[in-house]
Amino acid sequence: MTTRTEIDHRHPEKAHRPDNPIQRKPAWIRVKAPNHPVYKETRDLMRANGLVTVCEEAACPNIGECWSQRHATMMIMGDTCTRACSFCNVRTGMPLALDVSEPARVADAVFKLGLRHVVITSVDRDDLPDGGAEHFAAVIRAIRAAAPGTTIEVLTPDFLRKPGSGDIVADARPDVFNHNLETVPRLYPSIRPGARYYQSLRLLDGVKQRAPGVFTKSGLMVGLGETRAEIMQVMDDLRIADVDFLTIGQYLQPTVKHAAIAAFVTPEEFEDYAALARAKGFLLVSATPLTRSSYHADTDFAALAAARNRA
């Protein structure tokens, strides 16, 4: 059990925030503790290669299922973020210098796991001139060399005030470029204060214009106090930016120092969101209580590729 002292040690920058009691989860979003032998093998391989995963850092509820299927989302550029979003469990502070050996270590893990699809994400690196864009590109190139049959999805920061950074990643040609809007514009000041909604939209739109063959993707959390009409407007904004894929999942509060849950959205409401998104033209939609940005990304992408091959 996480203690108050452990919370404050990991997130000292959040200590000033008022406590928000953590609510009991409804039955539809409870998950079993991981105990599959392949889970341990995946964890050990990550440790052996000195890699950080968002699965652990963000306390993802799907870690048991995903790691048991040898699917992990690797987090590059360290475990310390330069921002302090109120929904996120990743630590905040001044990150270390980039590790030039990391692209090769990531590629080696992808090869050893035999992944058909890999998701690469990162902390925000506002301290770097390009926000870490060239490091993303180096990781993509290393994976292409080590595991040419693996499709690559990147989940990037917004590269706020880093002109040209989106182009650097787009030019490396990942198969999927993902950047999450996370929530509706009205909630940005309290949930994502270091970001700008329209910067995120511009990034996604710019990548699609720069690399039309790259699929673009974004994700939202619900249960933070947004309305159905606001979610529909965000969907419309994403489609105007020609975004291809959309994920929607329930926000889960990591600690008492994080944003409170305003509501547990029911499975039926998620089905409604999924139907709306498909009607608006998204090619792939995942909208369930346990959906996370990279949850089932491998199987979803494989299904889309198979459908296109049949067409």
Residues 253-257 have a mean pLDDT of 87
> Is 6 part of a structural domain of the chain?
no
| Per-residue pLDDT, 311 | 47
Residue 291 vs residue 232, higher pLDDT: 232
Mean pLDDT of the chain: 85
| Per-residue pLDDT, 8 | 46
> Is 271 part of a structural domain of the chain?
yes
| Per-residue pLDDT, 7 | 43
> Is 15 part of a structural domain of the chain?
no
The 8 Å CB, 24+ separation contacts for 42-48 are 42/67, 42/68, 42/70, 42/72, 42/113, 43/67, 45/109, 45/112, 45/113, 46/72, 46/74, 46/109
| Per-residue pLDDT, 93 | 93
Number of domains in the chain: 1
Structure tokens at 210: 């720069």
In which domain, by residue range, is 118 found?
33-310
Residue 41 vs residue 252, higher pLDDT: 252
pLDDT score of 98 more than 80: yes
Q: What are phi and psi of 279, to 5 degrees?
A: -65, -30
Work out the pLDDT band at 162, boundaries 50, 70, 90. very high
Structure tokens at 2: 């996480």
Residues whose CB is less than 8 angstroms from the CB of residue 254 and which lie 6 or more positions away in sequence, other chains included:
58, 59, 87, 88, 89
Residue 306 vs residue 103, higher pLDDT: 103
Comparing 51-55, 123-127, 186-190, which segment has the lowest mean pLDDT?
Answer: 51-55
Matching residue, tokens 């204060």: 193
Q: Which residues pair with 287 in a beta bridge?
A: 248
> Is 70 part of a structural domain of the chain?
yes
Q: What is the length of the chain?
A: 311
Residues 135-152 have a mean pLDDT of 96
Q: Write the pLDDT tens digit of every residue in 29-88.
A: 866 655 656 666 666 766 776 666 655 545 555 555 665 555 667 889 998 999 989 888
pLDDT score of 165 more than 50: yes
Residues 92-96 have a mean pLDDT of 93
Work out the pLDDT band at 183, boundaries 50, 70, 90. very high
Q: What angle do CA 106, 112, 115 make, to 5 degrees?
A: 80
The DSSP-derived string for the chain is ---HHHHHHH-GGGTTSPP-PPPPPPGGG--PPP--HHHHHHHHHHHHTT-EEHHHHTT-TTHHHHHHTT--EEEES-SEES---TT--SEES-PPPP-TTHHHHHHHHHHHHT-SEEEEEE---TTSTTTTHHHHHHHHHHHHHH-TT-EEEEE----TT-TTHHHHHHHT--SEEE---BS-GGGHHHHSTT--HHHHHHHHHHHHHH-TTSEEEEEEEESSS--HHHHHHHHHHHHHTT--EEEEEE----STTSPPP-----HHHHHHHHHHHHHTT-SEEEESTT--TTTTHHHHHHHHHHHHHH-
Let me know: does 6 contact 87? Beta carbons within 8 Å: no
Residues 238-255 have a mean pLDDT of 94
> Is 27 part of a structural domain of the chain?
no
Residues 185-210 have a mean pLDDT of 97
Look up the CATH number of the domain holding residue 142: 3.20.20.70
pLDDT score of 264 more than 90: yes
How crowded is residue 220: how many other Cβ atoms within 10 Å of its Cβ? 26
Comparing 147-161, 168-182, 246-260, 285-299, which segment has the lowest mean pLDDT?
Answer: 285-299
> Is 23 part of a structural domain of the chain?
no
Taking CA atoms, 108 is separated from 96, 101, 105, 144, 158, in Å, by 22, 11, 5, 11, 27
Q: From the centroid of its chain, how far is CA 276? A: 22
| Per-residue pLDDT, 305 | 63
Q: Write the pLDDT tens digit of every residue in 167-178.
A: 999 999 999 999
> Is 24 part of a structural domain of the chain?
no
| Per-residue pLDDT, 306 | 58
| Per-residue pLDDT, 226 | 98
> Is 14 part of a structural domain of the chain?
no
Residue 24 vs residue 207, higher pLDDT: 207
Residue 293 vs residue 281, higher pLDDT: 281
